[in-house]
Amino acid sequence: MTFRHAERTTLNTDALLRIIKTYTNLLLPVVVSFDRQINDHGTHVALERPNGQEYHYIRISVRMTEHLDDRSQAFDLISTLLHELQHADQWERLGPEAYEDPSFACAGTPNARTDDFYSSREIQARTFENANLAGAMQCYEQFVAEIQNRSRTRPAA
């Protein structure tokens, strides 16, 4: 698990990592980038490194949450992360072929089969996000409190 540009958020990455481990069971490595250059809340793509290793690359927009207080920002970013992690899980379960169907990629071409495919995947991701968000936030806040308590109780070196 790798975070890029986490300094652009108020999130505690140790607590965030525990959330990801709690709510996913992905086989491939995950890179999460907190990005200012996307217009959507988040995106997921599966990529391949030069050495052939595949990984999930999740981009989450911080631009849309910069105006929020810390708790609201955490709520929004964790919500988006859960949603995109569900898409990563779908990719692993269904395989890349399901997403690489050329008829699915034809923008502007009506295709009932691919519309249904997209809609069902999006509904599943939103359902997962909504079903788990309250618990994820509670866990996140508990993890942050545990981390802060540990750092307060450590003896000075």
Residue 11's domain comprises 2-153
Tens digit of each residue's pLDDT (9 = 90 or more) over 59-95: 999 998 989 999 999 999 999 999 999 999 988 988 7
> What does pTM read for this prediction?
0.84
Task: List C-alpha distances in Å: 80 to 2, 51, 52, 112.
Answer: 17, 29, 28, 27
Tens digit of each residue's pLDDT (9 = 90 or more) over 94-107: 877 666 554 444 44
Q: For the ranges 10-19, 33-42, 97-106, 140-149, which has the lowest average pLDDT? A: 97-106
Q: Which residues contact 74 (CB under 8 A, 6 or more apart)?
A: 10, 11, 137, 140
Number of structural domains, the chain?
Answer: 1
Q: Is the pLDDT of residue 43 over 50?
A: yes
Give the C-alpha separation, 96 to 106, whole Å.
17
